[in-house]
Amino acid sequence: MAANAPATVLIFDVGDYVVYPKHGVGRVIELQKSEIAGMALELYVLRFEKERMTLRVPTNKAESVGMRKLSSDKTMQEALATLKGKPKVKRTMWSRRAQEYEAKINSGDLVSIAEVTRDLFRADDQPEQSYSERQIFEAASSRLARELAAMEQVDEPAALDKILEILNKAAAIYNKDKVLEK
């Protein structure tokens, strides 16, 4: 390391895909040095294409805000396996469940996001979702699809198709059980 190297160890490089818990998958487009209130700061400049948003995160705060590299293949496989599981729907009030779902999505934890996606998925032959259920489902499935797309180097619609295919296969199994129970 050079004598004038920054004190913080940079975890991310320009060009890396990263996950910022509240916003999903972004890309480090620049490392920036700024002076704010007389303090020299190093910042990661993140670009979130879907939201057309740029975010600056101090390099020394990246870890504490939960910023991370894309998930490992093992974690992604675990998330995709979660989609195949039986949906778990709690019988609590919707407002409480909605808060729990939002918290899971904003945690940035891929398996938790997959749980929300699985639990709120409705196959074509199932009852219609409420508007707010649909919104949360789309937020979760989109977040999952963006990370899958970045990992598999495909576009988001292709990744979403893969997720929906898994969900539809699982729904065919679990909905068949419901028909038999009646």
Residue 47: pLDDT above 90?
Answer: yes
Residue 5: pLDDT above 50?
Answer: no
Identity of residue 18? V
| Residue 80 CA to its chain's centroid (Å) | 13
Whether 12 is in a domain gets the answer no
Would you give the DSSP letter of residue 58? E
Whether 143 is in a domain gets the answer yes
pLDDT of residue 36: 84
60 lies in the same domain as 21: yes
42 lies in the same domain as 96: no
pLDDT of residue 151: 94
Q: pLDDT tens-digit profile of 60-73?
A: 999 899 999 999 99
Residue range(s) defining the domain that contains residue 151: 73-181
pTM: 0.85
CATH of the domain at 131: 1.20.58.1290
Read off φ and ψ for residue 32, nearest 5 degrees: -125, 140
Q: Which two tokens stand for residue 29?
A: 């487009």
97 lies in the same domain as 62: no
Return the beta strands (E) in the chain as ranges. 17-20, 24-36, 39-48, 53-58, 68-69
63 lies in the same domain as 79: no
102 lies in the same domain as 31: no
Q: pLDDT tens-digit profile of 80-100?
A: 999 999 999 888 999 999 999
79 lies in the same domain as 147: yes
Closest CA to 151 of 8, 25, 23, 9: 25
pLDDT of residue 51: 84
All residues at 6 or more sequence positions from 79 whose CB lies less than 8 Å from its CB, including other chains: 71, 110, 111, 113, 114, 144
pLDDT of residue 182: 43
CB 143 within 8 A of CB 112: no
Residue 174: pLDDT above 90?
Answer: no
99 lies in the same domain as 116: yes
